[in-house]
Amino acid sequence: MEFLTKELIYQKSPQEITSLLYEAAIDDLSNAIHDIYNKQFIDANIKLKNVNDILHRFGVGLNYEAGIIADQLDALYNYMAERVIEGNLKKDPVILKEVLEILNRIADAWNASLKEKPNVKADYKRQKANAYEKQVLVYERDTNTVEEGK
């Protein structure tokens, strides 16, 4: 994940960024479990804090107008965050593997839905263009086209 630059991230759609965050959480959680087995508890703690930060961001980024699925995901993110804290306190890989399994399932579903909607990025750009057009009035004068803010 360190190869990502700010410019590269700005070129991604929100859906692609979410997919990258799932990947980062899975990588950090997998590596933290490995660190616990190797008794590298400080490294594991840092990675588990990153996982909880990502889980928190997933919860904040939910669109609650989407219906019950948003509420269910919120409950699931909260559950996973609590289990990560518990697994970190107890240094218990079994608890952390449970969270890893849930994260893998959600990430697989998310990535499958991204493959079914290849025009997500284009739709996002169209929405941005429409927002611009709502704020600018375009009309023609004799030979020049003039744009004015509303």
Percent residues over pLDDT 70 in the chain: 75
> Which tens digit of pLDDT belongs to each residue from 100-115?
999 999 999 999 988 8
How buried is residue 3: exposed, middle or buried, by Cβ count under 10 Å (0-12/13-18/19+)? exposed
User: CA nearest 52: which of 72, 82, 23, 75?
Assistant: 82
Is pLDDT above 90 for 82?
Answer: yes
- Whole-number pLDDT of residue 121: 54
Both structure tokens of 34 = 């490995």
pLDDT tens digit sequence for 19-54: 999 999 999 999 999 999 999 999 999 999 999 999
Q: What average pLDDT does the structure give for the chain?
A: 83
Domains of the chain, first to last = 13-117 (1.20.120.340)
Q: What is the pLDDT of residues 62-71, one digit of tens each?
A: 888 888 999 9
pLDDT of residue 44: 97
Please, are residues 58 and 76 in contact by the beta-carbon 8 Å criterion? no
Query: Among positive and negative, which fits the CA dihedral 55, 56, 57, 63?
Result: positive
- Write phi, then psi, for 147 (nearest 5 degrees): -115, 135
On whether the pTM is more than 0.85, the answer is: no
Give residue 129's pLDDT band: very low, low, confident or very high (50, 70, 90).
Answer: low
